[in-house]
Structures are given as C-alpha cells and as structure tokens.
Structure 1
C-alpha cells in the first residue's frame, strides 16, 4: 500500500511540475523567461499576457473558429455515428457485421497516409480556407472511431427492450430516439469527450487546409509564437493554457458520464 501511494505521489508531482512551470511562464515577460526560466515572476501574479493575447493577437477569433469547428464536428459525428451503430445492432446478421467491419477498416488507415488525395479532393470542392471544409473532414476522419465505440455499447442493450417497443407499435425511428439514445447517454458522453479532445487539439488538418488568418484555429495560431530562431514562450504558454481550459472544464462536468461510458459493458 505504501509503495502504491508513493508511486501515485511521484506521478502527481511529475504532472504538476510542468503545469506549474507553464502557469508561471505565462505570467512573465520574454526577458524574465530567458533570464530566470525557473524563477517566480518579478511582477507577481499578473494577467497581462492573457489580455494581450486576446486584444493584440486576435486570439478571440481563433478561439471562436476552434469552438465552431469542434462543436459542429462533434455534434454531427455523434448524430451520424449513433444512427449507424443503431442500424448495425438492429441488423444483427452478416450485413451488420460487414458494415461494422467496413467502418473498422477506416480506423486502420493513419490520417497522414490520406493527406495528398484528401487535399486534392478538398481543393477540387473549393473547401480550402473554410471552416465547412474542416468540419466535413473531421466528421469523415473520426466517424469510424465513433461508430466502433457506440456499436460496442449498443450491442449490450437488452433485446427485450426493442421487442417490447415493437409490440407497442414503435418503428425504428422511435426506438432509436426514445429507447436507444437515452440508454446510450453514458457512451455518447464518453465519445463526445474523446471527439472533443481530438478535434480541439487537431493541428494536421488546419495546417493542411487553412492558410488564411481569418480561418485559423487555436492550435494553428499557436505556431505563430514559434519562429525559426526565437520563440515567444510566455505568449505560447498563455495560448496553451487558454486552449486547454475548455477540455478541462468539459471533463470536470462530464467525468461521471465519461467513467460510466468507458466501463459500460465491462461485466456483461
């Protein structure tokens, strides 16, 4: 027991030290960072960098772009994935297994492999430098993962519920909306958190499709603080904290559903 607690303590320290360093650096100037990188801010606690990053670096616009892309991508992916997963579980034959296998194949191809044909497709559709293009690409890239997770959960739902709904005269749409979705809330929440982190932190697709500053997302905008010969670490770390805040807040409010969704079906 002692060694277990000691190991957890060491792990917590290893996590907290970088976090504290990021928070302290975000309150320093560039000169302070290079002169005393491990010291406390000379001016004490101040939020000048946070104010500057929103008013001088137009970070608010990048934040809105990231929020728009992430919210639409997560919502639409969950919508389509839940319907597909419901259809797979209701088929419950070789057709359903074939469809599930087809989406599972989509998880085996790394995104980097598809960059050239995907860029050519988006360019031909005229969707480069647009948030709509990013949303569509995000949905297509993460739909297999969402289908895989939700199908695994929906297969654990008792068949008697659907049989009883059929006897009561419910069609597939009613069983999907009134039976499947309410029971799948823990799994949907866990998948939503997973997708949110993926889309919010995504750098590959914005870097590939976005060149106009008006459509940059937060991860892409943070690259502006890193130059070839010098890096503005205080502003970079300030941006990292701002970009991390929504994920932390979301997990705090949905952690109960996240844990329930990840453990659902484990004992069935």
Structure 2
C-alpha cells in the first residue's frame, strides 16, 4: 500500500507540472438538463480514517471507485458505481459497494431517483446486505449542489436518511474551494433512531488538464447518537473523467 501511495504522489506531481489549468472545475459536470456527471470516472484516494453513516469503520483507508452515468432520453438518466475500501498497515477493515440509480428529470438541473445497492462489510460493526432508496439531486446554481436521500437497509433492519449541501465557489482559474455539510438521521438503523451524524468536509479542487481532478480535504464527523464518537479525517482523491 505504501508503494501505491508513492505512485499516486508522483503522478499528482507530474500532473501539476505537465498540465495547465484550462477551465472551471465542476463537481456535477452539468450537461443539458442533468445535475449528474454524464460519462465515466476512475478514482483512487486515501483518508486517515473512514466514517460511514456515523460509525468509524477503519483507519488509514485506501479507496477505489469506478462510476458511470448517462441519459436514456430527455426525461430519464441512470448512474452506477463500484467502490472498494480497505485499510492498510495491519488494518483489516474492508467494504465493497455496488450501486445503481435510475433518475427522472423533474426540472432543469433537478432529478428524482430510485436506487438499489449492495454492501459487503469485512470485520465491521455493520452487516452485509442490500438497501433500496429514493434520492433528490438539485443544482440551483453552478456553485451549489443539494443531495438528499432516504434508504432502507435490510441488513441493519432500519432507515437512514441524509441531507447534504455543497458550496463550490471558484477561487482561481480551474480551482475551486469545495465545502460540504451533511446531516444524517436514522430510524431503527442498526439499533439507532433519531439524529445520527453531522459531517463537514472542505478543501480545494484542482482541475488538471481536460480529464483529471485532484481534491485534498479535511473532514470532521460529529456523532449525534449515543455511543457514536467524533472524528477528524484528512485525505485526497485523484479522479480521471472520461
């Protein structure tokens, strides 16, 4: 894993030296009516610890993601992703996620979606299983993105919902500052009901050439339910969009 970190660091340095900033970065990459990125992306990243819906599952976590989405017609779009997270340096934590969503355009830059996901957990407090959910994605302006969702997790035998707001003002050419705040609520989710967790994440987003993004960040997780701790995490994501 240390070798992978070194390779990622060298790649980031070469990208910063080899590509000039060319255009304004965007988290949503809006195309036509959709607030959803249309295309494919590969992401590699790491974070000092990993908190999932209020529970800290591991330290020093490496993560990989493949995501894709597209438009079916003027009214419908789809998206999907596969995520793999694994602790290193003796940390045995692991999580694999397969996710798919079908979205309907209810207005410009606004979709409603239904999703199905499968989670595989390795040596965590949460159980492996399937969940179904409903989602709202809305980009009222180029700098704001809102995502709310509610899912029923059959393995945890309960509901979990979250409302998240992202603000992304441009600070330099092809550089933005991205800040996200999210609040989660649970109903009998792994035995917890009520307000679950608060997450605040902030950091710069660099667009490197036409295809690459680099996003270092620091995040704070505040447990709102009994028995859930507070955590600070630092990390970085490198994404290739195509």
TM-score between both structures, scaled by the size of structure 1: 0.26
Q: Which has the larger Rg?
A: 1
Q: Which has the higher strand share?
A: 2
Q: Which has the higher helix share?
A: 1
Highest relative contact order (Cα 8 Å, sep 6+), 1 or 2? 1
